[in-house]
Structure 1
Amino acid sequence: MKIDISFITINYNSSHHTIALIQSILHHTSIDLNYEIIVVDNASEPDDYTHLENAVGHFPQVSIIRNRINNGFAGGNMLGINHAHGDYYFFINNDCLLLNDAGNFMKSFLDTHNDVAVTTAKVTDEKGHFSSSYKQFPSVIKQWFGNSVHRALSSKSFPSNKIRLESPTAVEVISGSCMFFRAVNFDAIGGFDTVFFLYCEEEDMCKRVWDHGKQIYFLPEAEIFHKGGGSSGQNITLEKEFYISYKLLIEKHFNRLERILIKTALLFKQFRRIFTKKNGLSLFLFIVSGSPIHQSLRYKQSIKRVTSSLHSR
């Protein structure tokens, strides 16, 4: 059977979010679409995985892939791709909810816009505010002088993420919480780079989409709710993880002079935060030390033993 959309999400000790997401997909997605829901469980604790399996494992649209190690965002999604059959890939965070037939809206847009490879929806928070649906790619000017100056001097006039866009609009980078890809375009650029464990995957991916000659669009007609922090929360360990990924991003996409300028600006900013932010000194020293990748959460885990299941693959 031809599959129109492969919904792909990651569960990590947050099955209550994943179950709610799946229920919203089943409720809102058009019956005229053939779709599958692929859940990659990134080595959750046994109780959380069992809860997930018992709640949604019986739905014919749902496949649960039990991972023995936490591969992070990029690695988890790429594992899901190995089991995906859709013409479109809908990567969505498990702490999101569909508020309407978002997948169908984005599919219809891409069906008629061959120059666009990926779209995102209007992603909102509990107060109805835009929840970082789109943003700008890092640059020397942005790091030193801010977003406004960067936009003014950029060769492409991408909108500010503070503006409420009311029509389909080309944007530079979209949030990893909601990425709707044409499968052939995603496959052509090699998918997510698994060198990134938790952060900066979307910046890297979107940069490669533009470099590949395709566009990225924000579609306000498609609506998603994003709670945020469903699997991670906020602590200094995760902040360090961000700077590890940010360093990898800068090293990958900028020349030597640009890297020096960006890292210098980052050091100045973080130095000021020593006096204003909790854990500011620890983060400053971490960045000064080069944000060493060996401190990544990727290397602070062991492979788990799991039992077989009728519902998982």
Structure 2
Amino acid sequence: MKTVDISFITINYNSSDFTIKLIESIQKHTTISYEIIVVDNASEIKDYQSLHSFVSTQENIQLIQNRINSGFASGNMLGVNYASGNYYFFINNDTQLLNDAAKLLKEHLDLHQNIALATAQVNDENGNYSSSHKIFPSLIKEFFGNTVARKINKFPSNKITLEKPTAVEVISGSCMFFRASVFCEIGGFDTNFFLYCEEEDISKRIWLHNNEVHFLPTAKIIHHSGGSTDKSLAILKEYYISYKHLIFKHFGLIKGNLLMFLVTFKLLRRSFKNKNGVKLFIFALRGFPKKESLRYKQTIKN
């Protein structure tokens, strides 16, 4: 298999217009060797055909048609099976590169062998600075808030604009640039997550592997947040299912139960502030049952 510098890996789900724009931005800005791997997660046939028609005229692009929507983690892991790059650049299809972000991220990791995961500066649709990093859930964060938690763990606030490369605890799932060797060593994404919280989990595992996670402000992308995902009640439930898996995976039974109690109490306080509030609170009282995950509502395409 021929090795390239960067394997861009992205997922398409009924949003081929976004995917095509992402590909065009990669082609416009990237000056080092690369390949693009697009996993179509069982889109409607018209959307898939539109993407296939575009890709068939391009070089260095592999389009993989998944017959079932296997979610974010599994979809990306399917893409990894076809990747030959020294670095894996997992990037949401509703983003576009604003500069040669892949080269800048590669150069940063080439200079610092202890860094295994990095992200770019993420801007919103209006070009404004958007949060590219956050902190991992904790009891201190839930009891005392982000400010106190950051003072203890020493990671920077996501509300300030960072001007230089900085170590951060968790990066945005929309833009994740990995040293491929370390990604493979730790087993890649946890496919128990269908949607949400994958970035918290894998950022934590990178730190536990004695590597670092960095934010690089010179690399820039734009993110059209939620371009392929509607915030329905089912999607909100999916977030809490993923969050529960994250908490119990990393905290164990006692701390995990306490954290989930605090989440349930928070949902109670919010229950009458929006149309889905009461339903979410009832869902919490039922223990955020995994059997209601969207994972179990997918059908296999012919």
Name whichever of 188-197 and 53-62 sits farther off: 53-62
1:177 matched to 2:184: no
1:192 matched to 2:192: no
Question: For 1:124-203, what aligned pairs fall within 5 Å after superposition?
Answer: 124-154=123-153, 157-203=154-200
CA distance in 1, matches of 2:109, 2:22: 23
Give 1:224 shift.
Answer: 0.3
Indicate the residue corresponding to 2:276 in structure 1. 279
Kept in 2, the 8 Å contact 1:168–1:220? The answer is yes
SS at match of 1:255: helix
Indicate the residue corresponding to 1:311 in structure 2. none
The partner residue of 2:234 within 233, 237, 247 is 237
**For 1:170-223, what per-residue CA distance to the aligned partner results, in whole angstroms no more than 9, with x for missing partners?**
000001100000100100100000000001000000010000000000000000
Indicate the residue corresponding to 2:24 in structure 1. 23
Give 1:282 shift.
Answer: 0.4
Q: TM-score, normalised by structure 2?
A: 0.98
**For 1:75-124, what per-residue CA distance to the aligned partner results, in whole angstroms no more than 9, with x for missing partners?**
00000000000000000000000000000000000111000001000001
Q: What is the aligned length?
A: 301
**For 1:222-265, what per-residue CA distance to the aligned partner results, in whole angstroms no more than 9, with x for missing partners?**
00000011111211110000000000001100032211221121
Q: TM-score, normalised by structure 1?
A: 0.94
The partner residue of 1:217 within 214, 218, 229 is 214
Runs of 4+ in 1 over 4 A off after TM superposition: none
One-letter code of the match for 2:23?
Answer: I
SS at match of 1:230: coil
Give 1:158 shift.
Answer: 0.3
Give 1:276 shift.
Answer: 1.6
Structure 1 unaligned blocks of 5 or more: 306-313
One-letter code of the match for 2:112?
Answer: H
1:263 matched to 2:269: no
SS at match of 1:164: coil
SS at match of 1:100: coil
Give 1:128 shift.
Answer: 2.5
1:116 matched to 2:133: no
1:9 matched to 2:10: yes
SS at match of 1:64: strand
Coordinate RMSD, CA, aligned: 0.9
One-letter code of the match for 2:17?
Answer: H
Give 1:55 shift.
Answer: 1.3
One-letter code of the match for 1:166?
Answer: E
CA distance in 1, matches of 2:151, 2:49: 52
1:88 matched to 2:87: yes
Indicate the residue corresponding to 1:296 in structure 2. 293
Indicate the residue corresponding to 1:57 in structure 2. 56
SS at match of 2:130: coil
One-letter code of the match for 1:26?
Answer: Q
Structure 2 unaligned blocks of 5 or more: none
One-letter code of the match for 1:163?
Answer: I
Indicate the residue corresponding to 1:308 in structure 2. none
Give 1:152 shift.
Answer: 2.0
One-letter code of the match for 2:134?
Answer: K
CA distance in 2, matches of 1:117, 1:294: 34
One-letter code of the match for 2:104?
Answer: F
CA distance in 2, matches of 1:130, 1:283: 31
